[in-house]
Amino acid sequence: MTIYIGTTNTDGSGSAQNLNADNSFSPTFEYISGPLESQPEGTWVYGYVDDVLSVTKTEERYCVYCFEYSIEATNLSTWNAEGLKEIAMYDVEEGYVEINNFVDVYFINDYYGTAEPYGYDGDQTLVINDAKRGYIDTRNTRGDPADEGITYQMVSSTDIIIAPHSNGDSWSNLFEVYTGLGSDKVTFTASQDDGSRDTSTQWTEFYVDLGEYRDTFTYDLTHSVSSDQLRYVDGGDDTDTLTLLVDTDDLDFENFEIITSDGVTLSLTANSLEQNSTSEIGLIIEDTYVEFGADILDASVSSLSDAQQDYLEELNFDSDEYSTITVTTDDGATYTLLMNEVDDLVAA
């Protein structure tokens, strides 16, 4: 594990990616608390803490082979403080990672998710609070694990939760997120711990590539300020789920097979239907009200086919609640939706 903390961006030209051993601070992990004698159970904390910075690693042991590792890095000074603006973390294998109050985050976790039969399982949760921008990459790009003598490999999954904060449209507000194998989850949220919402997320932009396997993207940001903002997510291969927690007409998404919400409204255009037509049986839309764009000419409702019923049941949906919606666009293309909310469904 390598951690760099500092400031390279003073004129709009630097970023956390530019941090290195020569221009940053690398915290050392000294003993802070925990049993002094070796014990099968207990909690040990190691790290670096001063008045403006806290970087701690916690080890919790429940038995000889049962343990959890976590790491937390927090800027204790003001947001955007000199010397504490950026953080870069490489090859962090702890199961839980939390990064707080840094403007710019660079996170590269390029490992295989290897594990012994007990203890760390290779999965990881990454929580980023109050960053304005970032680059997060949890793909394995190192090649064949056998080349490094690794014989036991797990397909690990990453749960990435980003709660952005911005000070306006100056400089970059862009997050790039890349995940690979595993059932990964990525969430962008404006929700705060106190129940409020950070309206500065109206400036947030992102480009997300979820890679392979069954992934989930959750969208919960303040509506974008401009139609020129980039808010794009690619579900990638396999059966992927888009979860909406806010009314949505400012998200560019593709390669999703399931859209779900708790009663929000989603705007669909001919382009979004084309980008999410990877399932030959139909795009599943659960508990979501749909508003069609002007390029949708017709939406007709009919009963499910046997194949559609089987498809829904295989994915643990109650097919009795669903109908087939055949949508026709202004260029003559047709698309199939499988929906359980079809009241007041009208094409533009």
Predicted confidence band at 241 (pLDDT cuts at 50, 70, 90)? very high
Q: Is residue 71 part of a domain?
A: yes
Q: Is residue 344 part of a domain?
A: no
One-letter amino acid identity for 230?
L
Q: Is residue 303 part of a domain?
A: no
Distance of CA 31 to the CA centre of its chain: 32
Dihedral sign, CA of 317, 318, 324, 325?
A: negative
Closest CA to 284 of 331, 336, 232: 336
Write down the residue that tokens 């400036």 correspond to.
203
Concatenating the DSSP letter of every residue in 92-113 gives: ---SEEEEES-SEEEEE-----
Structural domains of the chain, count: 1
Q: Is residue 66 part of a domain?
A: yes
In this prediction, residue 117 carries a pLDDT of 40
Burial 274-306 (b: 16+ CB within 10 A, else e): ebbbbeebbbbbbebbbbbbebbeebeeeebee
Q: Is residue 329 part of a domain?
A: no
The least confident of 7-16, 251-260, 289-298, 309-318 is 7-16
Q: Is residue 310 part of a domain?
A: no
> What are the tokens at 227?
């139609």
Distance separating alpha carbons of residues 101 and 110, to the nearest angstrom? 24
**pLDDT tens digits for range 201-235:** 999 999 999 998 899 999 999 999 999 999 999 99
Q: Is residue 324 part of a domain?
A: no
Q: Say yes or no to pLDDT of 121 above 60.
A: no
The least confident of 33-42, 82-91, 258-267 is 33-42
In this prediction, residue 113 carries a pLDDT of 47
**At 36, is the secondary structure helix, strand, or coil?**
coil
One-letter amino acid identity for 201?
T
Closest CA to 236 of 221, 217, 264, 250: 217
Residue 220 belongs to what domain range?
2-294
**Stated pTM of the model:** 0.93
Q: Is residue 263 part of a domain?
A: yes
Query: Are the C-beta atoms of residues 186 and 179 closer than 8 Å to each other?
Result: yes
**Higher pLDDT residue, 36 or 253?**
253
**pLDDT tens digits for range 143-196:** 455 555 544 445 578 999 999 999 999 889 999 999 987 899 999 999 998 999
